[in-house]
């Protein structure tokens, strides 16, 4: 799962003159940290996108080229095959290959294939159903939707700096 750490500093931000405290306005500082699995997936797919030709690549070659433990890489590639980001080819010349043009694969589909959906949640159990929890939940949902839109707008080919094939 993608780790999202959210910090709220309303009093400090008001003191620093960043924003006035208003009931209708909430500010959020959010940091997003990729999981190791999603980072490995992005590195493996970017390596594959940079290769010439359409031949399947063996997982041990990808793992060695990117410094990823092969056993972990295999676990990361499996959901990418299930979501049809990758094709798995069996046999002595088998391996993995991109299922579609890197320009048609966005970062959101890669990350959600590996880690599951990106959702905004405010897990404050002691205030469930309370006004504060509802406001925090809405802020987190808005932040998650913003992140989803950003990731959806970046293709694998843009990530690796290649033009569409």
User: Which residues, in sequence order, are CB contacts of 96 under 8 Å at separation 6+?
Assistant: 48, 56, 57, 59, 62, 77, 81, 86, 87, 88, 89
CA atoms within 13 A on the CB side of 81: 15
pLDDT mean over 68-93: 96
Other CB atoms within a 10 A radius of the CB of residue 42 amount to 20
Q: Is 103 helix (H, G, I), strand (E, B) or coil?
A: helix
Alpha helices in the chain (DSSP H): 10-15, 36-49, 59-66, 70-82, 107-115, 131-152, 156-160
Say whether pLDDT at 26 is over 60. Answer: no
Say whether pLDDT at 92 is over 70. Answer: yes
- Which range has the worst mean pLDDT, 11-15, 64-68, 76-80, 126-130? 11-15
Are the C-beta atoms of 35 and 1 separated by less than 8 Å?
Answer: yes
Q: What does the block give as tokens for 120?
A: 């905004």
Tokens 């939940």 belong to residue = 137
| Average pLDDT value over all residues in the chain | 81
pLDDT computed for residue 135 by the predictor: 82
pLDDT computed for residue 29 by the predictor: 45
pLDDT computed for residue 153 by the predictor: 94
pTM of this structure: 0.75
Say whether pLDDT at 15 is over 60. Answer: no
Model confidence over 113-156: pLDDT tens digits? 999 998 887 666 655 667 777 788 888 888 888 889 999 999 99
Say whether pLDDT at 8 is over 90. Answer: no
pLDDT mean over 2-30: 43
pLDDT computed for residue 127 by the predictor: 54
- Which range has the worst mean pLDDT, 78-82, 138-142, 161-165? 161-165
Domains present along the chain, CATH in parentheses: 3-160 (1.10.10.10)
pLDDT mean over 70-97: 96
């Amino acid at each position: 799962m993608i780790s999202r750490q959210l910090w709220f500093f309303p009093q400090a931000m008001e003191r620093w003159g960043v924003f006035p405290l208003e009931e209708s306005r909430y500010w959020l500082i959010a940091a997003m940290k990729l999981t190791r699995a999603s980072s490995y997936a992005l590195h493996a797919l970017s390596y594959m996108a940079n290769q010439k030709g359409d031949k399947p690549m063996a997982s041990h070659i990808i793992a060695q080229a990117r410094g990823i433990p092969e056993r972990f890489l295999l676990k990361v590639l499996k959901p990418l095959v299930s979501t049809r980001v990758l094709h798995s080819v069996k046999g002595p010349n088998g391996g993995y290959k991109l299922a579609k043009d890197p320009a048609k694969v966005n970062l959101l589909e890669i990350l959600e294939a590996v880690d599951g959906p990106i959702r905004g949640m405010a897990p404050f159990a002691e205030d469930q159903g309370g006004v504060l929890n509802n406001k925090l939940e809405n802020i987190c949902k808005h932040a998650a939707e913003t992140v989803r839109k950003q990731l959806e707008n970046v293709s694998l080919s843009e990530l690796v700096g290649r033009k569409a094939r």
